[in-house]
Copies of this chain bind each other. A is one copy, B any other.
């Protein structure tokens, strides 16, 4: 089974967003879940072709525009497939973290280097927190009353909390690292 998570992201976009082109799907993902997900065209188009072969999506040429444009929509089988995947418990991910690797190896370079990295991280976390808080307010207004609002909000809250936690950790790390041993 190939590209299973990308398949599900594309299927999910079509389930929530209705009929869309490959291009639209990219915009949709970018606009709604870019803080924890992304898909490139290099994934989306092959995945759409494959989903089509599996009858999980259907496509039609768009007659309203004489531009080269295909519109995809999810089929009943596609919705079923999506649910099958949704019920599978996601395994805890263990992503590699380059900053933590640099912290772990920091004894090999001047201490100020890693402190600088941590300080930039704090800045970028603060920026992200601020931005996501704005997004949260916007989404609350725009999607008020929508069935999916609470799920969007839950993912945005995740981004905010993680950014805050990273920033707090970085503060603590700077203290731990700066303190000379007794």
A residues whose Cβ falls under 8 Å from a Cβ of B: 5, 8-9, 12, 15-16, 32-38, 79, 82-83, 86-87, 89-109, 113-114, 116-117, 120-121, 124, 128, 145, 147-155, 157-158, 161-162, 164-166, 168-169, 172-173, 176-177, 179, 181
In the complex, what residue of chain B is closest to A106 when comparing beta carbons? Answer: B151
- Bound-state CA distance A91–B177 (Å) is 21
A161–B169 touching, CB < 8 Å: yes
A117–B105 touching, CB < 8 Å: no
- Bound-state CA distance A89–B106 (Å) is 13
Question: A33 contacts which chain B residues (CB < 8 A)?
Answer: 100-101, 104
Shortest CB-to-CB span from A56 to chain B, Å, is 13
22 contacts across the A-B interface (CB closer than 8 A): A5-B101, A8-B105, A9-B101, A33-B101, A36-B94, A36-B97, A36-B101, A38-B94, A79-B108, A82-B108, A89-B117, A90-B99, A93-B97, A95-B95, A104-B155, A106-B151, A149-B181, A150-B179, A158-B169, A161-B168, A161-B172, A162-B162
